[in-house]
Amino acid sequence: MTKIELRLDHLQCRVQGDASGGSEPYLWPVLMWVTDQTIGTPTPVRANHPHTPRTVLAQNVTAGTGLAVPAAAGTVRTQLDAGDTLRKAIAVVSLLENDDTPDHVVVAAYNRYVEALPDAVAAHLLELASDDDEVVAAATAAVRDEASSAVHSAGSDEMTWWEKVKVGVGSLNLDDEIGAEFASTTTTKDLGLTFQQSITIGSQTVLTQDWRLSGALVVDHRIDLCAAQALAVNQAKVQRDQVLAQLRALQTQWAQASALEKPGIKLEIDEVREILAGAEAAVAAAEAALAACRVRHVRDIPTHVLDHVLEARFDLH
């Protein structure tokens, strides 16, 4: 039974040109996969992600700083069905800088990002698998553009009229996207992703952002004796996240409601909070059961020969 894990370990800032003097980086990692069971279906590319729209790794990061990436922000896993064969594991990681984008806008943009990205990859899957580097490069660029357009549109749609006015006059500084990098494999590979931005001054190009992210894209074909418990954790988290999304929607509705409408919405919010507490307890119980199973079935950590640092493209051929 194949397990796939995207594990991001360390973020190194080499050049940082933020006008404020420091940066507050955060990551949007998405793990995607294509298998024999998914090919030919309406959703050939499946995806998983940490469900954390904005986990800032550190404050006021300057050039020369190295940051450990916590598992909650940089580790994504999935497990294939028994008998299913992996065709390609794909990792996409966006590096962003926290500024003043309101939380509800970030959540809306992130939710659209994790929906649009697999759709964009699926739409260009044949081109991404081409033996022609130019075809692959064009398809990669198309995926970037389509996902980016969807994110910006979702963020703009979520903004209130007043927030848009503040952006227009420069009093609301939105979060910046430093870059998005891609990697793919059918076996375990080391990750070395580079995120750069530059400006042209006269005839010279000057780097304003230069970051290095390391980790691994791990493919483990051994049987997991705790597969049922791991699945239960994932299912509990999905249910928890659905309730959390419902609560956030109600809170936004309450903020925009009239005085007469607010008491009714408040009752709904209180009910959903109770449901959320139960969902959180279910996640905790499932995680405890998984941890107990892991103790009973300790497995050696696999040793892999990491063949080369991935290029910053899909490399699907």
Of the listed ranges 50-54, 232-236, 296-300, the one predicted with least confidence: 296-300
pLDDT at 300 over 60: no
**56-94 confidence digits (pLDDT tens):** 999 999 999 999 999 989 999 998 887 789 999 999 999
pLDDT digits (tens, 9 = 90+) for 232-260: 888 898 899 889 989 988 998 999 889 99
Reply yes or no on whether the pLDDT at 283 is more than 50: yes
The yes-or-no verdict on residue 302 having pLDDT over 70 is no
Q: How many CB atoms lie within 10 A of CB 73?
A: 18
What pLDDT shows up at residue 129?
A: 81
Residue 40 has pLDDT above 70, yes or no: yes
* d(C-alpha 189, C-alpha 212), whole Å: 16
- Kindly report, residue by residue over 134-183, the tens digit of the pLDDT: 998 899 889 989 999 999 999 999 999 999 999 999 888 898 999 999 88
- Confidence (pLDDT) at 18: 66
Model confidence band, residue 5 (pLDDT cutoffs 50, 70, 90): very high
Percent of the chain surpassing pLDDT 90: 56
**pLDDT (0 to 100) of residue 19:** 61
Q: How many C-beta atoms lie closer than 10 Å to residue 175's C-beta?
A: 17
Confidence of residue 223 (pLDDT cuts 50, 70, 90): low
Tally: H helices and E strands in the chain: 7, 9
Which tokens is 3 given?
């397990």
Going by C-alpha positions, the residue among 236, 183, 187, 195 that lies closest to residue 31 is 183
**Higher-pLDDT residue of 19, 293:** 293
In this prediction, residues 303-312 reach a mean pLDDT of 34
| Cβ 112 vs Cβ 154: under 8 Å | yes
Rounded to a whole number, what is the distance in angstroms from the first to the last CA of the chain? Answer: 24
Percent of the chain with pLDDT over 70: 91
In the numeric block, the tokens 């705790």 are attached to 226
What per-residue confidence (pLDDT) applies to 226?
Answer: 80
Is the pLDDT reported for residue 304 higher than 60? Answer: no
pLDDT, average across residues 301-310: 36
Share the mean pLDDT of the chain. 87
Query: Who has greater pLDDT, 309 or 67?
Result: 67
pLDDT at 1 over 70: yes
pLDDT tens-digit profile of 81-91? 877 899 999 99
The confidence band for 313, taking pLDDT boundaries of 50, 70 and 90, is very low
Does residue 307 surpass a pLDDT of 80? no
pLDDT at res. 159: 92
Largest CA distance in the chain: 64
